[in-house]
Amino acid sequence: MTEVTSDIHLPPTALLRLLADGQLHSGQELAAAMGVSRTAIWKQLAKLESLGLKLESKPGKGYSLSGGLDLLEEAPIRSGLRAPVNEQISRFNLFEILDSTNAWLLSQESTPAISICISECQTAGRGRRGRSWVSPFARNIYMSLRMTVETGFGSLEGLSLAVGVVVADALSDLGVRDAKLKWPNDILCKGRKLGGVLIEAAGDPAGRCHAVIGLGLNVDLEGSMAEQIDQPWVTLNDILSTSPKRNDVVITLLNHIIPMLATYESIGFKHYKSKWEALNTHLNQRVSLQMGAQKTKGIMRGVSDSGGLILSTEHGVETFHSGEISLRAEP
């Protein structure tokens, strides 16, 4: 696992692994294991708060991380992937900290197969319309995948919706039975946001181009980081009776997402349309679309074959494509 340049400086990976069990460890024990002084250990532990981690200290006994840490590891993830899925991966990159998994993949050279970037923490994670994505260390899933297509941006139409469909399938495998989708990129459960998708494309609009598919999924979120979120949210730990291991979550997601990406250029969104409609949280409901200063109200009737939102308005039936559109339910 790698750390890249960032304004946040992580404690050494070895120290994080020692504390990952959530048990008490004395300063002397940690210092001996790391081969440094107790003062040096204290300075490293002071960095944990900036990562959204809660360090508990008991005088005379030591330090522990509340809830421990469930760290991601490449080897167990790769071994859990189906063989055809592993064959589709050209690069698998796992970082301790990045500014953004999407930004990192966009900066890399293209490959014919799928590249993956996962980070334990993001310092500049983002969603649609420039909104920040709260990214505490080793609590959630921050993952991006990069694919190459030869037929231009048109072959990517509806991709964020198709990703939502297969993510919902993966969540079902994990035990989440009531996931819903909000056009164009939100994954919901119990009316609260569980995850989101961000698609970014680069290259020739009419030829060889690349799409980076960013996925953020809430697994475990609490404390000061949770207070930064400005909308209703939910985590897998809130939904499921048994907390899933994050390695298993990543394995399940990739086993569903990668086969879809591998064939998407040839089959497109039409293959996923009916499944998306079945999961549409706003079907036949009154909604409003905010497009800059313009607001349009109507009844959502579904989506087109290219993933556009179909809305019955006072002017008739209109189709809208994502761009900078915000959708809200109307009373």
Which residue, among 116, 230, 207, 89, has the nearest Cα to 156 in the 3D structure? 207
Of the residues 190, 245, 286, 328, only one is catalytic, namely 328
Residue 41 backbone dihedrals phi, psi, to 5 degrees: -65, -45
For the record, the structure tokens of 56 come out as 């508990």
Residue 184: asked if its preceding bond is cis (omega within 30°), the reply is yes
Instruction: Please name the residues in contact with 78: beta carbons below 8 A apart, sequence gap of 6 or more.
Output: 86, 92
Give which of 181, 190, 197 is closest to 302, Cα–Cα: 181
Largest CA-CA distance found in the chain, in angstroms, rounded: 73
Is residue 128 part of the annotated active site? The answer reads yes
In our burial notation (b when 16+ CB lie closer than 10 A, e otherwise), range 309-319 reads bbbeeeeeeee
54 as an active site residue: the answer is: no
Kindly write down the DSSP assignment for every residue of 266-314, as one continuous string. HH-THHHHHHHHHHBTTTT-EEEEEETTEEEEEEEEEE-TTSPEEEEET
Q: Quick check: is 193 catalytic?
A: yes
Active-site position among 180, 193, 246, 273: 193
Q: Which of 128, 139, 180, 246 is catalytic?
A: 128
Handedness of CA 105, 245, 197, 145 (dihedral sign): positive
Q: CA angle 77-258-178, nearest 5°? A: 85
**Catalytic sites, residue numbers:** 128, 193, 328
